[in-house]
Amino acid sequence: MGPQTLLDYVLTQLDHAGIGQGVLTHKDGGTVFLTHPATTQHEANVYRPLLCAVLQGAKEVGTSTRTLTVRAGQSLIVSNALPVVSRITEAAPDHPYVALVFPLDLDLLRALAPSLPQSSAQRVSDPFSICLAPTGDDMQDALLRYFRQCETEVARHMLAPITSREIHARLLIGQHGGTLQKLVWHENTASRIFAATHEIRSDLGKPLVVGELAARMGMSSSAFFEQFKAVTGNSPLQYQKDLRLLHARNELQTTGSKVSEIAYGVGYESSAQFSREYARKFGCSPRQDRVSDAAE
């Protein structure tokens, strides 16, 4: 028998947990393994900064303006918190979709960035916060070592942090590196847009005045709008609206709060407007969504 591959490892973990469809949280508390035996409809979610390595099958991920397809052997890097729409496009019962999601530690990336040789700085022509590249053998090997190290307490505390650092370093010097390097440098456009998205996410109920936010970021309104859309795939107002609706959906499915309370909590002054925009995004009203979720 040859050496175990990353796909073999993940399939074994899913099988031991009895998961033929769904998500398995790994022992490190942040990474997850995912599998699905069939293609899916579009689903809306918020992606945080992460590495998503597809090991089998394929998936589409995108915003209102950009869509990428990530296939087996490829990785998706998300360098900002983004509201996205995704769907599994290749999967079958005998060949399910299998992927892993490894959260990125931006503080660790910033700590590593000063060690980069000046000659390794990469120029990036596309500022979009989602990028795609092959998952190289070295990266798959590092991920596999990391997961195995997390299986015992001593290795989890002494070795896994070193391998996590290696994984982040490989991202900085790899094909995704240019986008990540721009994100961790202070006082450039990418870091300013990142700060703006953080401010929007920190208080979804607060009205967004784009000109005022641009001024706080040290940018003109026109430059801010153009760069924000280039980085996130959405205008600032659409970005906020998508986050509001996704947060509201989570509240509907996890709390017993009234629809009107949830609507006001995410910044809507009109419950009717909230219901219209919710139905436009998710295909059903908030009340219908809550009923269908309860029925499942």
pLDDT value of residue 1: 37
Domain CATH number, residue 164: 2.60.120
pLDDT tens profile 138-167: 999 999 999 999 999 999 999 999 999 999
Please check whether residues 78 and 224 belong to one and the same domain: no
Q: Is residue 174 part of a domain?
A: yes
228-243 pLDDT, tens digit each: 999 899 999 999 999 9
- The pLDDT assigned to 125 comes to 61
Are 279 and 225 in the same domain?
yes
- Determine, yes or no, domain membership for 1: no
Per-residue pLDDT reduced to its tens digit, 6-23: 999 999 999 999 999 999
| pLDDT for the residue numbered 123 | 57
Domain presence at residue 171: yes
pLDDT value at position 279?
Answer: 93
96 and 234 together in one domain: no
Same domain, 117 and 26: yes
Q: Which of 88-92, 122-126, 142-146, 260-264 has the lowest mean pLDDT?
A: 122-126
13 and 120 co-located in one domain: yes
| Mean pLDDT, the chain, whole residue set | 89
Low-confidence winner among 85-89, 190-194, 264-268 (lowest mean pLDDT) = 190-194
Q: Domain limits at 294?
A: 186-296
CATH number of residue 244's parent domain? 1.10.10.60
pTM: predicted TM-score of the whole model, two decimal places: 0.85
219 plus 258 within the same structural domain: yes
The pLDDT of residue 265 is: 93
pLDDT of residue 118: 60
What is the number of domains present in the chain?
2
Residue 139: inside a domain, yes or no? Answer: yes
Q: What is the DSSP string of the chain?
A: --PPPHHHHHHHHHHHTT-SSEEEE-TTSS-EEEEESS----EEEEEPSEEEEEEESEEEEE-SS-EEEEETTEEEEE-S-EEEEEEEEE-BTTB-EEEEEEE--HHHHHHHGGGS-GGG----S---SEEEEE--HHHHHHHHHHHHHTTSHHHHHHTHHHHHHHHHHHHHHSTTHHHHHHHHSTTSHHHHHHHHHHHHHHTTTSPP-HHHHHHHTT--HHHHHHHHHHHHSS-HHHHHHHHHHHHHHHHHHH----HHHHHHHTT-S-HHHHHHHHHHHHSS-HHHHHHHHHH-
Same domain, 220 and 179: no
* Claim to verify: residue 80 and residue 218 sit in the same structural domain: no
* Co-location of 43 and 144 in the same domain: yes
Model confidence band, residue 256 (pLDDT cutoffs 50, 70, 90)? confident
Q: What percent of the chain has pLDDT over 70?
A: 91
Residues 199 and 295 in one domain: yes
